[in-house]
């Protein structure tokens, strides 16, 4: 639909930064001077400056969810701060339509001496929720945070988890058109994170556009449809979440491989850990016909073909497969527990692991593979390899769901009986 | 798209960020400034209440401490004057009231001049993470300054009663002069905030300069008539406003209304300029002060 309104337009935006503090302050003073006389600050790099963000363009419509990934210093957070209007671009133009809600810092404005309840009002005001709205929302916010019994206690006595809960609960009750989230969900306990993710997808379903910045790739896969991969301030790749994340992981893998190769060359062969001695090169997910796939159905067999490369003979490597969501491990296949292992592996090859009749409900999952050494002392192959896949509903599950007349709850389907 | 959503899209507020200085579209900027000021009121109030209640919640005697500073400094000058160590000449009203009022007013001015820089520094972490009307920080600083001054007025009233001063109709005009004194402090404080946040040198120089400025202002002595000391009342912008506030409240008269009005008008103009500069400067300061 061409008439659909863009909530956010980022057009060729660039931003420069300076590494040296003294110079940075001096440039700041210069920028102040040009700002006050109404001149545009120069778009050339001054000594010791670099482009933190360079020529970045993208647009968001309603119900778009965009993830931004990349290594530290790639410019992700700078991009978010530019969009939220905290700092000005040096080049380009950013246009926002609608209410912007930014989850960059949780619990902004909290004062440790004041009670949780008082701080809710302060945080709400900072986030742009009026007193009237806050009065209406206060009970909802306290319930969401699940810390009602502590709400009239000074927040300095809160645990860090409670602090995060309170902060997120306020922020979750914003009703923005554009929602910016920066890594904040990586804190807090699992159950609460689950709740936070649910709240985000609710916002997104109701038409908000979401930008999510995270190092947690499975979480990005869960939340975002499109992903931008940033590198040295530029967009390295833009596209579907799965494609970009796979490309990014492959790239990371290459980088790690190079380092490991270099390390392996350096290290003597007496090294007694598996680190540097072997790595998992690739994991294929196969269906019953041994064709590659990333989509399974509840009750299917999950077939993983784990390709490895051993730089020297490895006696009795124990492969371990963990399947789960970003938040928890659900299924485990462990050679150490099953007390089997190849006698020795060397060079390139593969190991098959077939998990029978996986009882997972439709969702996104990922499989995590690593290798332990022969003895009880755990020696892990670095890095563990991860592969995402999707479980879709088939007949069995939809029957169950139809019976329940509900979206599937939980991870595993179960037939329940109620008595009273 | 549903009709509902279409309507929602139509009324969406639009913001644009470009590298251009805000000065390029002055009318839009001015309109935005006053809009933000309006939107900032509630947050400013919240932040001020937060800071004030946090201060007093952790204190046993709370508000009583607010009286300590002005009472001590007033007692000191009364003592020095009585012992003839300090000779300030004849004042129209009892010297204790004169000096107490003077130091309170000077305290208001010097707190005001420091307020914007202190407030921005203290709130840098939220300023650099969340966007809200930037005016809220300054408004809340003003509220705190007024609150502190308001408390101290209680002692002043006590002094008025002890020394039997008569309340004249002129006292109704003195709040205007007091407000002007505060705004002058805020305006000057805002003016130095941009560079003062970047370089700590500014606050060092300011605190040294304020010590000198105190003695160059007729706070503890009446306005001198002889040259060169009389220059103080003409070349020191604080003098006419401070003296006006004190005279209006204690005597109900205004020595030089013209001068007072000129200085007041200039204060308001400078305040507007300083406000614009503050707005233009903040993104640059945030960029430089937080990694």
3-state helix, strand, coil in chain B (%, to 5): 75, 0, 25
Nearest-angstrom CA–CA distance, A359 and A347? 35
Instruction: Quote the pLDDT of residue A262.
Output: 64
Q: Are residues A87 and A192 in the same domain?
A: yes
Angle made by CA atoms B220, B224, B227, in degrees to the nearest 5: 140
Q: What's the pLDDT band for A229 if we cut at 50, 70, 90? A: very high
Report the pLDDT averaged over residues A234-244: 92
pLDDT band at A393 (very low <50, low <70, confident <90, very high): low
Is residue A156 a part of any domain in this protein? no
A183 and A284 both lie in a single domain: no
Helices B174-198 and B95-122: angle between axes, nearest 10 degrees: 40
Q: How far is A363 from chain B (nearest CA, A)?
A: 27
pLDDT, position A276? 63
In a domain, A130, yes or no: no
Edge to edge, what strands does the sheet with A363-372 contain?
A295-297, A385-392, A363-372, A318-324, A329-334
What is the spatial distance between Cα A344 and Cα A312, in angstroms, rounded to a whole number? 10
Closest CA to A178 of A56, A13, A64: A64
Query: A205 at the B interface (CB within 8 A)?
Result: no
Q: Do B281 and A114 touch (CB under 8 A)?
A: no
| Structure confidence at residue A72 (pLDDT) | 83
Structure confidence by residue, pLDDT tens digits, A339-355: 888 888 888 899 999 99
Q: Is the pLDDT of residue B230 over 60?
A: yes
Q: How many residues does chain A have?
A: 420
Residue A12 domain-assigned (yes or no): yes
pLDDT band at B178 (very low <50, low <70, confident <90, very high): very high
What's the pLDDT score for residue A190?
Answer: 67
How far apart, in whole angstroms, are the C-alpha atoms of residue B68 and residue B64? 7
pLDDT at A314 over 70: yes
Distance CA B223, CA B56 (A): 38
Q: What pLDDT is recorded for position A374?
A: 62
In terms of average pLDDT, the best of A144-153, A261-270, A394-403 is A144-153
Whether chain B has a CB inside 8 Å of the CB on A411: the answer is no
A138 neighbors A117 (Cβ within 8 angstroms): yes
Of A116-125, A217-226, A377-386, B108-117, give the lowest mean pLDDT range.
A377-386
Predicted confidence (pLDDT) at residue A401 exceeds the cutoff of 60: no
**Tokens representing residue B273 in the block:** 């300029």
Which two three-digit tokens encode residue B78? 């009364």
Q: What is the pLDDT of residue A318?
A: 83
Q: Is residue A123 part of a domain?
A: no
**Against a cut of 0.90, is the pTM above it?**
no
Instruction: For residues A19 and A93, state if they share a domain.
Output: yes
Q: Greater confidence, B172 or A380?
A: B172
Given a cut of 60, whether residue A230 has pLDDT beyond it is yes
Give the mean model confidence (pLDDT) for residues B244-265. 90
List Cβ neighbours of A66 (8 Å cut-off, separation of 6 or more): A58, A60, A209, A210, A211, A212, A224, A225, A226, A227, A228
Comparing CB atoms, the residue among B8, B17, B126 nearest residue A88 is B17
Task: Indicate if A307 and A212 belong to the same structural domain.
Answer: no
A21 with A94, same domain?
A: yes
How confident is the model over B242-263, as a mean pLDDT? 89
**Whole-number mean pLDDT of chain A?**
81
CATH code, A232: 3.40.50.300
Residues B7-22, mean pLDDT to the nearest whole number: 76
Beta carbons within 10 angstroms of residue B269's beta carbon: 11
pLDDT at A362 over 80: no
Closest C-alpha among B56, B196, B177, B2 to residue B115: B196
Shared-domain flag, residues A321 and A219: no
Contact A95 B15 (CB under 8 A): yes
| CB–CB contact A28 B54 (8 Å) | no
Range of the domain at A217: 6-99+175-243
Q: Residue A58: pLDDT above 80?
A: yes
Name which residue leads in pLDDT, B100 or A402: B100
* CATH number for the domain harbouring residue A294: 2.70.50.60
Q: Could you tell me if A347 and A290 are in contact, meaning their C-beta atoms sit under 8 angstroms apart?
A: no
Q: How confident is the model at residue A406 (pLDDT cuts 50, 70, 90)?
A: very low
Q: Does residue B27 sit at the A interface (CB-CB below 8 Å)?
A: no
Number of structural domains chain A divides into: 2
Identify the pLDDT of residue B10. Answer: 56
Same domain, A293 and A238: no
Confidence of residue B139 (pLDDT cuts 50, 70, 90): very high
Q: Mean pLDDT, chain B, as a whole number?
A: 87
A205-221 residue pLDDT tens: 888 899 999 877 877 88
Asked whether residue A115 is domain-assigned, the answer is no
* Predicted confidence (pLDDT) per residue in B19-68, tens digit: 888 888 889 889 999 999 998 999 999 999 999 988 888 888 777 777 88
Instruction: Tell me, yes or no, if A248 comes closer than 8 A to chain B by beta carbon.
Output: no
pLDDT at residue number A384: 59
Q: Are A303 and A366 part of one and the same domain? A: yes
**0.90 surpassed by complex ipTM:** no
Alpha-carbon dihedral sign for residues B71, B73, B79, B82: negative
A239 and A284 belong to one structural domain: no
Structure tokens at A129: 């929720």
Q: Higher confidence at residue A327 or residue B55?
A: B55
Closest CA to A78 of A92, A88, A67, A63: A88
**Residue A193 sits in the same domain as residue A293:** no
Question: Do residues B192 and B206 make contact, with C-beta atoms less than 8 angstroms apart?
Answer: yes
Q: What is the pLDDT of residue B146?
A: 95
In this prediction, residue A223 carries a pLDDT of: 82
Residues A301/A354, Cβ–Cβ less than 8 Å: yes
pLDDT tens digits, residue range B182-217? 999 999 999 999 999 999 899 999 999 999 999 888
Q: Which alpha helices (H) appear in A307-384, and where do they start and end?
A: 335-338
pLDDT at A376 over 60: no
Closest CA of chain B from A1, distance in Å: 9
Instruction: Supply A237's token pair.
Output: 């790749």
Q: Residue A378 has what pLDDT?
A: 46
The answer to whether the CB of B246 falls within 8 A of the CB of B93 is no
> Chain A residue with minimal CA distance to B125?
A108
- Pair (A85, A203) in one structural domain: yes
Share of residues in chain A with pLDDT > 70 (%):
85
CA neighbor of B238 nearest in space, from B102, B133, B38, B93 = B102
pLDDT at A202: 84
Which residues of chain B does A17 touch, with a Cβ-Cβ cutoff of 8 Å? Answer: 287
Q: In what order do the strands lie in the sheet with A226-231?
A: A100-103, A178-182, A209-213, A65-69, A226-231, A234-240
Separation in Å, CA of A321 to nearest CA in chain B: 40
pLDDT tens sequence across A148-200: 999 999 998 988 888 888 888 888 888 888 988 887 666 656 677 777 778 88
With CB atoms and an 8 Å threshold, state whether A128 touches B42: no
Are residues A73 and A21 part of one domain? yes
pLDDT in tens, A271-294: 444 556 777 888 888 988 888 888
Contact B239, B260 (CB under 8 A): no
> Is there a contact between B195 and A36 if contact means CB atoms under 8 Å apart?
no
Q: How many CB pairs under 8 A join A and B?
A: 154
Of A17, A24, A122, the CB nearest to B50: A122
pLDDT score for A409: 55
Please report, to the nearest 10 degrees, the dihedral formed by the alpha carbons of residues A122, A127, A133, A137 taken in order.
-80
């Amino acid at each position: 639909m061409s008439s659909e309104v863009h909530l956010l337009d980022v057009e060729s935006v660039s931003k420069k930064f300076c590494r040296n503090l003294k110079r940075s302050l001096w440039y700041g003073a210069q920028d102040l001077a040009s700002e006050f006389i109404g001149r545009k600050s120069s778009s050339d790099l001054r000594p010791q400056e670099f482009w933190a963000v360079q020529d970045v363009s993208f647009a968001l419509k309603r119900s778009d969810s965009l993830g931004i990934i990349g290594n530290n210093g790639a410019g992700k957070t700078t991009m978010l701060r530019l969009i939220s209007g905290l700092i000005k671009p040096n080049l380009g133009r950013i246009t926002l339509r609608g209410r912007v809600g930014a989850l960059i810092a949780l619990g902004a404005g909290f004062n440790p001496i004041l009670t949780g309840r008082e701080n809710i009002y302060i945080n709400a005001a900072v986030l742009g929720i009026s007193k009237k709205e806050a009065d209406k929302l206060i009970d909802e916010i306290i319930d969401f945070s699940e810390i009602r019994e502590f709400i009239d206690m000074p927040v300095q006595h809160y645990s860090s988890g409670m602090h995060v809960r309170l902060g997120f609960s306020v922020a979750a009750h914003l009703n923005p058109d554009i929602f910016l989230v920066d890594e904040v969900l990586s804190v807090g306990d699992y159950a609460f994170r689950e709740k936070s993710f649910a709240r985000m997808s609710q916002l997104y379903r109701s038409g908000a556009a979401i930008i999510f910045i995270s190092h947690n790739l499975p979480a990005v896969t869960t939340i975002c449809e499109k992903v931008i991969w940033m590198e040295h301030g530029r967009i390295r790749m833009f596209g579907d979440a799965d494609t970009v994340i796979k490309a990014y992981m492959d790239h990371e893998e290459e980088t790690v491989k190079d380092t490991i190769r270099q390390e392996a060359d350096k290290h003597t062969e007496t090294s007694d850990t598996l680190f540097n001695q072997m790595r998992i090169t690739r994991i294929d997910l196969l269906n019953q016909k041994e064709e590659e796939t990333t989509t399974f159905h509840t009750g299917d067999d999950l077939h993983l073909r784990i390709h490895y490369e051993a730089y020297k003979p490895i006696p009795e490597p124990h492969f371990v497969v963990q399947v789960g969501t970003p938040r928890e491990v659900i299924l485990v296949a462990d050679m150490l527990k099953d007390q089997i292992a190849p006698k020795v592996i060397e060079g390139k090859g593969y190991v098959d692991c077939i998990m029978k009749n996986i009882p997972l409900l439709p969702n996104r999952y990922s499989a995590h593979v690593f290798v332990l050494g022969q003895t009880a002392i755990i020696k892990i192959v670095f890095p563990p390899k991860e592969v995402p896949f999707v479980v879709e509903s088939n007949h069995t599950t939809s029957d169950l769901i139809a019976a329940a007349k509900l979206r599937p709850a939980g991870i595993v389907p179960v037939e329940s009986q109620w008595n009273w | 798209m549903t009709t509902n959503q279409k309507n929602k899209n139509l009324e969406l507020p639009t913001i644009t960020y470009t590298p251009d200085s805000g000065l390029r579209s002055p009318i839009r900027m001015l309109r935005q400034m006053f809009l933000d000021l309006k939107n900032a009121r509630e947050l400013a109030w919240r932040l001020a209440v937060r800071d004030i209640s946090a201060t007093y919640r952790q204190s046993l005697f709370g508000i009583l401490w607010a009286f300590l500073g002005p009472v001590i400094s007033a007692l000191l000058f009364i003592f020095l004057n009585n012992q003839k160590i300090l000779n300030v000449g004849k004042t129209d009203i009892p010297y204790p009231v004169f000096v107490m009022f003077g130091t309170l007013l000077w305290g208001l001015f010097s707190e005001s001049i420091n307020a914007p820089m202190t407030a921005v520094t203290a709130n840098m972490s939220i300023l650099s993470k969340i966007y809200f009307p930037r005016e809220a920080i300054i408004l809340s600083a003003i509220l705190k300054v007024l609150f502190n001054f308001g408390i101290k007025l209680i002692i002043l009233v006590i002094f008025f009663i002890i020394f039997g001063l008569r309340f004249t109709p002129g006292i109704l005009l003195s709040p205007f002069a007091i407000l002007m004194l505060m705004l002058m402090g805020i305006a000057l404080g805002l003016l130095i905030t941009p560079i003062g946040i970047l370089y700590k040198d500014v606050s060092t120089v300011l605190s040294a300069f304020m010590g000198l400025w105190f003695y160059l202002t007729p706070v503890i002595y009446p306005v001198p008539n002889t040259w060169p000391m009389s220059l103080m009342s003409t070349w020191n912008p604080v003098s006419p406003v401070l003296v006006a506030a004190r005279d209006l409240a204690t005597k109900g008269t205004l020595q030089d209304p013209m001068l007072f009005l000129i200085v007041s008008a200039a204060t308001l103009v400078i305040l507007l300029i300083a406000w614009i500069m503050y707005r233009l400067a903040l993104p640059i300061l945030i960029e430089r002060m937080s990694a």
